[in-house]
């Protein structure tokens, strides 16, 4: 009999790790996950209950002219969700919501899926455990930045640590069929999200958010100690206030606003390293008509820029051992560098998506469809000026 693989499939390991979380830690993880689902104005409404509404949010169209109140239920199951589970959820939604999202770590029976799709009362979207794992992979949740095939234990332990230091309300009244669940609403002080989720909401990178904390500009609502490391959590109802104080600009609402924000960001000379313009230069050179490029091709072109500078005896990049001598840097190391730094900034901004399963980087559809050819030419010229400006300033 052949020996089992030393590195089992990462998707299965993520799912297994979710099942290993304590009940409280999984509830906290679920509340955090909703930040990435696509709902706006999310609020956790209850932590414990069977068939009720665990959270609510608004599904808002790109034009912001349509807002659909949405109820969410998140269940950790090893077995498939049954039709009776969907029936109870629809009963909980009726009268308050026009749309529902049922999220499970497992799957759905055929009867449950049919009921969700054909209910005459309202629409229920079903999210499977595979969908949850794909979402986590897309946003590098629970995965090591250095190696996407390795779990980031600190991510999961953060929820465990928070669960052990804050007693959440574990006994809630059963959901009333008439829709009166106001008594089950979780207090805002208990509705917390992680620093990672907050940075995603604010569309800034994690390093910027941590700098704000170190500078005293951002105060956590809860700090959990994990050995020598501190994990920070924030009240969800503070997000907009923090955005106004530290970010200012709201999330783009229209395609035109997405285009303008991307162009402003791409042309910006705010550089601490040369990564951003170099990666963007490679991206615009390689992108196809669908707004996509293979990450491996992007890595090769990115690396080639520094190899040419090294060959020509020009400064490369200081303080980065990997690029001190780019002839010694291997492909996988450069890939990790790109994913961790310049690519992450574009992903957090919502400009790019990275499909780690397919190894594809693609422009967000709402942006790609708005960009004009002459604007991309202008950005390419701006990139060359940024690179020249960077090296002339002597930041190397």
pLDDT value of residue 128? 95
Percent share of the chain, pLDDT over 90 = 46
Tokens of 46: 């209850």
pLDDT value of residue 77? 87
Sheet with 67-75, strands from edge to edge, namely 40-44, 55-60, 67-75, 99-104, 123-127
More confident residue, 31 or 166: 31
pLDDT confidence tier of residue 88, bands split at 50, 70 and 90? very high
- As a whole number, mean pLDDT of residues 243-270 equals 87
CA distance 326 to 274: 14
Report the mean per-residue pLDDT for the chain. Answer: 84
Is the per-residue pLDDT at 172 higher than 70? Answer: no
pLDDT confidence tier of residue 394, bands split at 50, 70 and 90? low
More confident residue, 182 or 64: 64
Q: 118 by DSSP, 3-state: which?
A: helix
13, 143 contact by CB (below 8 A): no
Percent share of the chain, pLDDT over 70 = 87
- As a whole number, mean pLDDT of residues 298-320 equals 92
Is the per-residue pLDDT at 177 higher than 50? Answer: no
CA distance 333 to 336: 5
pLDDT confidence tier of residue 289, bands split at 50, 70 and 90? very high
pLDDT value of residue 146? 64
Instruction: Express each pLDDT in 93-146 by its tens digit.
Output: 988 898 999 999 999 999 999 999 998 878 899 999 999 998 998 888 998 766
Query: Which pTM was predicted?
Result: 0.72
CB atoms within 10 A of CB 370: 19
């Amino acid at each position: 009999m052949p020996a089992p693989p030393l590195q089992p499939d990462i998707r299965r390991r993520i799912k297994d790790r979710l099942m290993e979380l304590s009940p409280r830690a999984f509830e906290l993880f679920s509340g955090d996950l909703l930040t990435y689902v696509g709902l706006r104005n999310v609020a956790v409404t209850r932590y414990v209950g069977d068939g009720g509404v665990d959270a609510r949010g608004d599904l808002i169209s790109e034009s912001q002219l349509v807002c659909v109140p949405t109820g969410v239920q998140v269940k950790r199951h090893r077995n498939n969700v049954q039709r009776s589970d969907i029936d109870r959820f629809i009963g909980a939604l009726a009268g308050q919501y026009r749309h529902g999202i049922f999220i499970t770590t497992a799957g759905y029976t055929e009867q449950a899926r049919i009921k969700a799709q054909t209910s005459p009362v309202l629409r229920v979207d079903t999210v499977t455990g595979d969908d949850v794992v794909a979402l986590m992979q897309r946003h590098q949740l629970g995965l090591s930045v250095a190696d996407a095939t390795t779990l980031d234990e600190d991510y999961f332990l953060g929820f465990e640590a928070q669960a052990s230091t804050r007693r959440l309300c574990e006994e809630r009244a059963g959901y009333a069929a008439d829709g009166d669940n106001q008594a089950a609403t979780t207090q805002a002080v208990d509705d917390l999200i992680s620093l990672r989720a907050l940075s995603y909401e604010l569309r800034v990178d994690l390093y910027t958010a941590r700098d704000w904390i170190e500078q005293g500009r951002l105060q956590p609502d809860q700090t959990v100690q994990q050995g020598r490391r501190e994990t920070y959590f924030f009240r969800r109802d503070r997000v907009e206030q923090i955005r106004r104080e530290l970010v200012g600009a709201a999330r783009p609402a229209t395609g035109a606003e997405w285009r303008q924000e991307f162009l402003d960001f791409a042309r910006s000379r705010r550089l601490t390293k040369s990564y951003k313009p170099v990666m963007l230069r490679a991206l615009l050179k390689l992108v196809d008509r669908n707004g996509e490029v293979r990450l491996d091709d992007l890595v090769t072109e990115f690396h080639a820029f520094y190899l040419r500078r090294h060959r020509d005896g020009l400064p490369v990049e200081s303080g980065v051992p990997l690029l001190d001598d780019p002839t010694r840097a291997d492909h996988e190391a450069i890939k990790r560098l790109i994913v961790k730094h310049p690519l992450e900034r574009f992903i957090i901004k919502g400009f790019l998506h990275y499909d780690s399963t397919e190894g594809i980087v693609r422009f967000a559809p709402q942006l790609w469809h708005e960009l004009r050819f002459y604007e991309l030419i202008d950005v390419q010229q701006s990139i060359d000026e940024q690179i020249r400006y960077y090296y002339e300033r002597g930041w190397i």
